[in-house]
Structure 1
Amino acid sequence: MSRPPEWWPELAPRIERSRAPKPPGPCVDAHTHLSVKSAAAVAKPFFRPEYEPRQLYSSPETMRYNTEYRASPLNTAQFEDAEQRLADMDAQGVDAQVLAVPPTEYFYWLDETEARRANRLQHERLAEVVHTWPQRFAAVANPPMNHPGLAVETLREAHRDFGFRGAQISADVLGLDLDDRRFDPVWQTVVELDMTVILHPQGFTHGERFSDYYLVNVMCMPLASTLAVTRMILGGVWQRHPDLRVMVVHGGGYLPFYIARTDHAWRVRPELRHHLDVPPSEVLRRIYVDTNVFDPGMVAHLAAYLGADHVLMGTDYPFDMGTVDPVGFLSGVAVAESDRARILGGNAAELFGVAAATP
């Protein structure tokens, strides 16, 4: 039975004023989502549940809750309205956000004609917000990855027409892994345009055992990233495109905390050495990650292992699996103050061209 509308606002994450004082340097949230209703309307007639693994493997309880949660007035405003974002950012002490569409709005299952139309609507809306508040927002593209040729065209257009400095992609493309050679033209174009890829999964394609307890999100999101990055490393993506920059959300998944096992396997098993002539950990240190891991000690580990210049503040705003007080959270991370400043905003400024973070 659905709960009454007056209960709805409790579902959305309420942003309170940060418990930490505003740092002197810029603070940039590199992992946020802005929904574009006009593009969703284009895609809706073509949708089937099997296209979205997070929905396909969600329990009835999760589906009911998610429907109520997304219908709440506060969460609708957070996902769609820049003004609500600005109020929340001011409370958080966040100077700027990097905008990307929610992973539910990749729409990889659209044909080329409809994909071109939906992606253009998304980019126009993102660019409108950036243009209206250039000191508060930057944005990244949503390339239609199931059509690599169109994805290349879309990236060039987003860079040329809207000035986007990055793109967000899923951890797989309708079940096809990212080390597949058909995506090489996309990586080549990203490098050529000096863009940064945000790798953000949309569930896990084989989630049959994860439907209970919201494991379809709790475990499957970082699991999908772990698998994607592992396959990209072992599949030689960075061997072919050494300058490719990828920021993996949710702290990079599980791999940065368990890469030693993959290194060991690379040393003792021939299957891992077909496309890789260095230990996997050497390639892993090229990736960037965000701080949406909920444990200050894990952020300290990421900074120590990958380097503070490879860690970016990210919240997953406005999802309920996000960090609601990112500045307060990062104030508890044991790193040098110069490294904290880079994590809070300096790195995002360099990677995504955020005007507010330019010294």
Structure 2
Amino acid sequence: MYDFHTHFIPSDVMSWLKDHKNRIHAEWVPKEQKEDFLVINGKWGFELKKEFINFDLYKQKQEHVGVGHSMLSPIPQLFLYEFPEEITTEMSRVYNHSLAQLAIDDHENFSALGTVPLAYPEKAAEILNEAVGQGLKGAIIGPGIGEHMLSDPFFQPFFEEANRLHAILFIHPLLCEEPRLKRRMMPNLIGVPWETTVTATDLLLSGLIDQYPNVKILFAHGGGFLPYQIGRLDKGYEQWDLVSSKLQAPPSQYLKRFWYDTVLWNEDSVNHLVKVVGEDRVVAGSDYPFDLSVWPPKQINSTGALSLLE
């Protein structure tokens, strides 16, 4: 069984965080009956569970539930996109080198994705090249930078390099700052998949995948709400030039050219996703070890995993 959506923090990264805590405003906040929460720059703190930082424990947990191969990814809280280029680049290099070593040391059981300074696309392209050269499969990236959507020309240098490298780009949302969601954990419950929905819809309608056909785009959390609403996009394609002008086929056909994980917590939802996009485009994922992980990961035919890794 594969697990394409997991997160880990190697020891070198933890050391870097502690050494540079003042530069990035890092705090370790004690919580009753829980591990300390790590807060970077005053936002989006998370419980620093032992499984995030103890690789032996992480491996034991994966083996216990029958996961034979995991894709290790950096955690979104450590993308550090809001910091100056030198800080984000430095963190990316430390994180990527550490994950590459873990994957090299046990390549049968682990692959890994890196992180890049996405706010600086030319530097991000350079770091992606380095990461793939070290053996990483690509990068995990957020849904954009500020008002820049991933389809914007701003990111062209990065996507050109990803296309040249045939890299995986795992699109992972960041917490939504929509004012109406600031209650009842809605930023995480529906804000996270909403971010994925917006990004995935924009990438699909932009025709970017025709421009960069070698980039392997994987969407977290089953693609958000997009697979469920694809009929609405197809209807818009029939009605409006603004929807169809950059596409060579209806949106439902483009939907089948991306990959999606199974982090949906509902078997009927996973089955619907497979029916809409095809089993060769769906990969098992857990979001382990975050609180809302699907644990153990939903077992699924490995066709999608093999097509993504080839």
The question of whether the paired residues in 2 share the 8 Å contact of 1:82 and 1:129 is answered with no
Query: How many angstroms does 1:261 deviate by?
Result: 0.8
Count of residues paired in the alignment:
296
The question of whether the paired residues in 2 share the 8 Å contact of 1:316 and 1:322 is answered with yes
- The runs of 5 or more residues in structure 1 that have no matched partner are 1-26, 50-63, 331-339, 354-359
The question of whether the paired residues in 2 share the 8 Å contact of 1:232 and 1:238 is answered with yes
State whether structure 2 residue 36 is matched by structure 1 residue 71.
Answer: yes
- The runs of 5 or more residues in structure 2 that have no matched partner are 38-46
1:203 corresponds, among 175, 183, 192, to 175
**Structure with greater proportional strand content:** 2
1:185 alignment counterpart: 157
Amino acid at match of 1:275: K
Secondary structure of the 2:179 match is coil
1:238 alignment counterpart: 209
Indicate how the Cα distance of structure 1 residues 266 and 47 shifts in structure 2: closer, same or farther if over 3 A, else same: farther
1:28 alignment counterpart: 2
Amino acid at match of 2:60: A
Indicate how the Cα distance of structure 1 residues 122 and 300 shifts in structure 2: closer, same or farther if over 3 A, else same: same
The question of whether the paired residues in 2 share the 8 Å contact of 1:249 and 1:292 is answered with yes
Secondary structure of the 1:119 match is helix
Indicate how the Cα distance of structure 1 residues 350 and 48 shifts in structure 2: closer, same or farther if over 3 A, else same: same
Indicate how the Cα distance of structure 1 residues 37 and 315 shifts in structure 2: closer, same or farther if over 3 A, else same: same
State whether structure 2 residue 307 is matched by structure 1 residue 347.
Answer: no
The question of whether the paired residues in 2 share the 8 Å contact of 1:39 and 1:119 is answered with no
Identity, % of aligned pairs? 26
State whether structure 2 residue 37 is matched by structure 1 residue 80.
Answer: no
2:108 alignment counterpart: 135
Larger Rg: 1
TM-score of the aligned structures, taking structure 1 as reference length: 0.76
Alpha-carbon deviations, 1:316-345, whole Å to 9, x = none?
A: 00001111122xx43xxxxxxxxx432xxx
Instruction: Quote the Cα distance in structure 2 between the aligned partners of 1:129 and 1:254.
Output: 34
Secondary structure of the 1:315 match is coil
Amino acid at match of 1:137: F
Secondary structure of the 2:5 match is strand
Amino acid at match of 1:341: N
Instruction: Quote the Cα distance in structure 2 between the aligned partners of 1:290 and 1:253.
Output: 10
Matches within 5 A, 1:1-359: 27-35=1-9, 36-41=13-18, 44-47=21-24, 69=34, 71=36, 76-160=49-133, 162-204=134-176, 206-326=177-297, 329-330=298-299, 340-342=300-302, 346-352=303-309
Query: How many angstroms does 1:350 deviate by?
Result: 4.6
The question of whether the paired residues in 2 share the 8 Å contact of 1:43 and 1:114 is answered with no
The question of whether the paired residues in 2 share the 8 Å contact of 1:97 and 1:136 is answered with yes
Query: How many angstroms does 1:89 deviate by?
Result: 0.8
**Structure with greater proportional helix content:** 1
Secondary structure of the 1:258 match is helix
Relative contact order higher in (CA < 8 Å, ≥ 6 apart): 1
Amino acid at match of 1:37: M
TM-score of the aligned structures, taking structure 2 as reference length: 0.88
Instruction: Quote the Cα distance in structure 2 between the aligned partners of 1:42 and 1:247.
Output: 33
Query: How many angstroms does 1:287 deviate by?
Result: 0.9
Amino acid at match of 2:14: K
Alpha-carbon deviations, 1:3-22, whole Å to 9, x = none?
A: xxxxxxxxxxxxxxxxxxxx
